[in-house]
């Protein structure tokens, strides 16, 4: 994978891993619906400022409205609403393990619809990393029905990656990220009942945490993810999501006191080895990815 894409992808994963903890903290003061709305109103404003300052394009061309709308619906409205609702009872570490299934869905979709090629090493790395996720999620973490909502999130984010990828061939990563974020935020206004009152009475720490996940794991991280997708294939970029369980577990330990055991080292090693196999051995050489993303 090109260094620029790898660096952007890794920065994204760091921010996204912190979001699992941030959501859990925010749910101590906000309902899931109000948290999602506040988070993406914040992200939308940040991205609006970024597009204006950089003199980008505020509205997408009419011919791609349908793709932008579906991208926003799957990648933001469905994904984040389902994830936040699920984290009412599911621990951040467990949620990150389930989301780590997304690369498998993404690889299948990219192979089917984008004709991206994956070698045997790539598939082996996928399976090894997914086995590491299974090891982690099967040891000492409670499973709840709300976990099914998080599985819906994993599937919806894979669909989002597939829908967004073609947009990045023709438009800037910042502009595309802003468009799909705004498209995904509009349906969230259905959660506006009682929102202002909840915002006024929110304690400082949870409020700041929700604002943080709006600015960095949402606005900034989705731009860097778009940069990564623009510079590499889906099959190269999405396996980085396997790092989420390791980072989210460590952050959960530090912030929430969710102490990991030896299984984290074992499962985490499987995940890292699988990611290495995918990145180093898993893809055929790329042709034609020279367009600047931003």
Yes or no: say if 14 and 247 are a contact pair by the CB < 8 Å rule.
Answer: yes
Indicate whether 153 pLDDT > 80.
yes
When comparing pLDDT for 288 and 96, which is higher? Answer: 96
Give the tens place of pLDDT for each residue, 74-99: 999 999 999 999 888 777 777 777 77
d(CA 30, CA 16): 20
Two structure tokens written together for 250: 């460590």
* Domains in the chain: boundaries: 3-281
Separation CA 243–CA 97 (nearest Å): 9
% pLDDT > 90, the chain: 48
d(C-alpha 60, C-alpha 54), whole Å: 16
- Which of 286, 36, 292, 290 minimizes the C-alpha distance to 186? 36
pLDDT at residue 145 in the model = 65
pLDDT in tens, 100-128: 767 666 666 766 666 666 778 877 877 88
Q: pLDDT tens across 125-139, in order?
A: 778 877 776 676 555
């Amino acid at each position: 994978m090109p260094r620029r894409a790898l660096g952007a992808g890794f920065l994204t994963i760091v921010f996204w891993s912190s979001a699992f903890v941030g959501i859990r903290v925010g749910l101590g003061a906000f309902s899931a619906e109000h948290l999602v709305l506040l988070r993406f109103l914040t992200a939308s404003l940040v991205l609006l400022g970024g597009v204006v300052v950089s003199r980008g394009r505020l509205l997408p061309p009419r011919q791609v409205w349908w793709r932008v709308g579906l991208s926003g619906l799957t990648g933001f409205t469905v994904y984040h609403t389902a994830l936040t609702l699920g984290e009412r009872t599911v621990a951040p570490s467990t949620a990150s393990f389930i989301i780590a299934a997304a690369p498998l869905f993404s690889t299948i979709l990219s192979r089917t619809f984008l004709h991206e090629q994956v070698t045997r090493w790539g598939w082996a790395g996928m399976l090894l990393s997914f086995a590491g996720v299974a090891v982690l999620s099967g040891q000492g973490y409670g499973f709840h029905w709300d976990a099914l909502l998080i599985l819906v999130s994993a599937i919806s984010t894979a669909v989002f990656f597939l829908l967004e990828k073609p947009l990045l061939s023709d438009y800037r990563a910042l502009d595309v990220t802003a468009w799909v974020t705004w498209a995904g935020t509009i349906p969230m206004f259905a959660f506006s009942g009682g929102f202002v009152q909840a915002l006024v009475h929110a304690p400082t720490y949870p409020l700041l945490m929700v604002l943080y996940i709006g600015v960095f794991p949402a606005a900034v991280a989705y731009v860097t993810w778009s940069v990564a997708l623009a510079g590499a294939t889906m099959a190269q970029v999405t396996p980085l999501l396997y790092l989420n369980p390791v980072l989210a577990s460590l952050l959960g330990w530090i912030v929430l006191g969710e102490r990991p055991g030896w299984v984290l080292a074992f499962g985490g090693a499987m995940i890292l080895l699988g990611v290495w196999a995918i990145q180093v051995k898993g893809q055929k050489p790329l042709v034609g990815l020279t367009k600047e993303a931003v």
